[in-house]
Amino acid sequence: MSFDYDLFVIGGGSGGVRAARVAAQAGAKVALAEEDRYGGTCVIRGCVPKKLMVFASEYSGMVGDAQAYGWDIKPGAFDWDAFKGKLHGELDRLEGIYRGILKNNGVESFDSRARLADAHTVELADGTRKTAKHILIATGGWPTVPEFPGSELAITSNEIFNLEKLPETILIVGGGYIASEFAGILNGLGVRTTQFYRGEQILRGFDEEARSVIAEGMREAGVDLRVNINVTAMRQEGGKIRVTDTNGEEHLFDQVMYATGRAPNADNLGLEELGVERGKGGEIVVDQYSQTTVPSVYAVGDVTDRVALTPVAIREGMAFVESVFKGNPTSPDHELIPTAVFTQPELGTVGLSEEDAAKQEAIEVYTASFKPMQQSFAGRAQKVLMKLVVSKASRKVLGCHIVAPGAGEMIQLAGIAVKMGATKEDFDRTVAVHPTMSEELVTLKTPVRST
Say which residues have a Cβ less than 8 Å from residue 277's Cβ, sequence separation at least 6. 284, 285, 292, 293
Say which residues have a Cβ less than 8 Å from residue 413's Cβ, sequence separation at least 6. none
CA distance 348 to 418: 13
Burial classification of residue 396, based on how many CB atoms lie within 10 Å of its CB (0-12 exposed, 13-18 middle, 19 or more buried): middle
CA distance 261 to 9: 26
Q: Following DSSP, what letter does each residue of 299-318 receive, concatenated?
A: E-GGGGTS---HHHHHHHHH
**Distance between alpha carbon 341 and the CA centroid of its chain, in Å?**
7
CA distance 98 to 39: 6
The question of whether 120 is a catalytic residue gets the answer no
User: Most distant CA pair in the chain: distance in Å?
Assistant: 75
88, 134, 401, 434: the catalytic one is: 434
Say which residues have a Cβ less than 8 Å from residue 253's Cβ, sequence separation at least 6. 167, 169, 170, 171, 194, 240, 241, 243
Q: Where are the alpha helices (DSSP H) in 275-369?
A: 310-325, 354-360
CA distance 330 to 357: 28
Burial classification of residue 76, based on how many CB atoms lie within 10 Å of its CB (0-12 exposed, 13-18 middle, 19 or more buried): exposed
Q: Which residues are catalytic?
A: 434
